[in-house]
Amino acid sequence: MSIFEEFGLTSELLIILLIDLGIATVLLTLMRYLFGWSANVNSAHELAEKDNFAFGISTAGAVAAMGIVLTGAITGEAGSSYAIEAIGLTAYGICGLILIKLGRLLHDKIALNKINKTQSILAGNKAISIVDAGAVIATAIIIRATLLWAEGMTINTFIAIISSFVVSQLMMVLLTRWREYSYTKRNQGETFQQGLQNGNTALALRHSGYLIAMGLSFNAASHFIVFSPTEYVTNIVSWLVFSIIMLLVLSVIQAIVKTVVLNKINRSLEVEKQQNIGVAAIEMAISISVAMILTALMA
């Protein structure tokens, strides 16, 4: 008996692991270059010669998002053959890649509709790149949750994935609009998107925390929804209802915890006016931590 067999790693399992790692590496590499291709720039030039930190942050978010999606595709039983395992992971991976790209496009055109994201990132705007990374990671968390929720590899599975994706993007837009409304109310008419365009990194960190927390709350909602392959309307309505409930619960708990943890600190003043990255980072950590705790409880 070999050392691998002692730990339950048979030759078949090792081959499947190599197949999965190989496909994952290709997809992660593809994601690294995708933003550069879409922006018609050389990613190596932006990262290593121009030292464009904003481009690097955005690319890092995309690569992390692809990795998160792949964990949803890999989790579970291996395919019945090497070919099925390779086809299944590739199909889910490509589907995830397309949805991540589509999510970025929708976020740019609808949520951040007053900002030219690509131009801003190429110009080195780190605030916008942080929000872009947060949005794409949130989208990936949602796609992963749907991959684990849906069963099998049929057309119905992909319809279910797309349905939940549509709901999640709607929720991200609504969340952004609510944050915009609150920001404008506190800042005498200055808009949230203007703050990002002006390079407020603290504002971007806080908002990214909200986006990622929303993705995690969407994951928590998946534990209450029964996958019905042909019940398309039921699936999408269920996702919408439970995601709204979870987002409301999350928002209330976040507000309470932030008030307690950051007692005697004017969070709005520190983040929005003084661009205090330290306070914003704590807010981001609280948002994500609360969402992770809720997700664990719901599981």
* CB-CB neighbours of 44 under 10 Å: 11
Following DSSP, what letter does each residue of the chain receive, concatenated? --HHHHTT--HHHHHHHHHHHHHHHHHHHHHHHHHHHHTTS-HHIIIIIS--HHHHHHHHHHHHHHHHHHHHHHSSPPPSSHHHHHHHHHHHHHHHHHHHHHHHHHIIIIITTTS-HHHHHHTT-HHHHHHHHHHHHHHHHHHHHHHHHS-SSSHHHHHHHHHHHHHHHHHHHHHHHHHHHHHHHHTTT--HHHHHHTT-HHHHHHHHHHHHHHHHHHHHHGGG----TT-HHHHHHHHHHHHHHHHHHHHHHHHHHHHHHTTT--HHIIIIIS--HHHHHHHHHHHHHHHHHHHHHH-
Model confidence pLDDT, tens digit, residues 89-102: 888 788 888 888 88
Residue 88: its pLDDT value, please? 77
- In which residue ranges of the chain is pLDDT below 50? 1
Name residue, tokens 């995830």: 96
- The model carries a pTM of 0.88
Residue 285: its pLDDT value, please? 96
CA-based radius of gyration for the chain = 20
Residue 1: its pLDDT value, please? 46
Residue 281: its pLDDT value, please? 96
Cα separation, 129 vs 72, in Å, equals 25
Residue 74: its pLDDT value, please? 73
Name residue, tokens 């930190």: 53
Q: How far is CA 254 from CA 80, 213, 272, 293, 299, in A?
A: 44, 10, 18, 11, 19
Asked whether 161 and 94 are in contact (CB, 8 A), the reply is no
Q: Look up residue 163 and give its amino acid.
A: S
Q: How far is CA 131 from CA 24, 115, 166, in A?
A: 25, 12, 20
Residue 152: its pLDDT value, please? 63
Both structure tokens of 95: 């589907």
Handedness of CA 124, 130, 133, 136 (dihedral sign): negative
